[in-house]
Amino acid sequence: MTTSRRHLLSRLLRTAAFLGAALTVGVAAAQSAKPVRILVGFPAGGGSDAIARALADKLKDQLGVPVVVENRPGAGGQIAAQALKAAAPDGTTLFLTHDHTISILPQVVKNPGFDPVRDFVPVGGFATFVNAFAVSGGTPANTFTEYVNWVKTAGSGKGAVGIPAPASTPEFLVKLIGQKYQLDLVSAPYRGSAPMIADMLGNQINAGVASVQDFIENHKAGKLRVVGVLGTKRQAAMPDVPTFDEMGLKGFEDLPYYGIYAPTGTPQKFITEFSIALSKVVAMPDVRDQLTAMGLTVGYMTPQQLATRQADYTKAWTRIIQTSGFVAQ
**Phi, psi torsion values for 191, nearest 5 degrees:** -95, 65
Q: What pLDDT, in 10s, does the model give residues 81-126?
A: 999 999 999 999 999 999 999 999 999 999 999 999 999 999 999 9
The structure's pTM equals: 0.79
pLDDT exceeds 50 at position 170: yes
Work out the angle between the directed axes of helices 285-293 and 268-282 (0-180°, nearest 10): 80
Q: What single letter denotes the amino acid at residue 254?
A: D
H/E stretch holding 136: strand 131-136
Q: What pLDDT score was predicted for residue 26?
A: 38
How many CA atoms lie less than 13 Å away from 328 in the CB half-sphere?
A: 10
Q: What pLDDT score was predicted for residue 329?
A: 80
* Least confident piece of the model among 14-18, 22-26, 60-64: 22-26
Beta carbons within 10 angstroms of residue 7's beta carbon: 10
Mean pLDDT of 213-232: 93
Q: What pLDDT score was predicted for residue 17?
A: 46
Name the residue among 203, 211, 129 with its Cα closest to residue 170: 211
Q: What pLDDT, in 10s, does the model give residues 241-281?
A: 999 989 888 777 668 999 999 999 999 999 999 999 999 99
Given a contact cutoff of 8 angstroms between Cβ atoms, the answer to whether 268 and 125 are in contact is no
- What string of DSSP letters covers 144-205? HHHHHHHHHHHSTTEEEEEESSTTSHHHHHHHHHHHHHT-EEEEEE-SSHHHHHHHHHTTSS
Q: What single letter denotes the amino acid at residue 75?
A: A
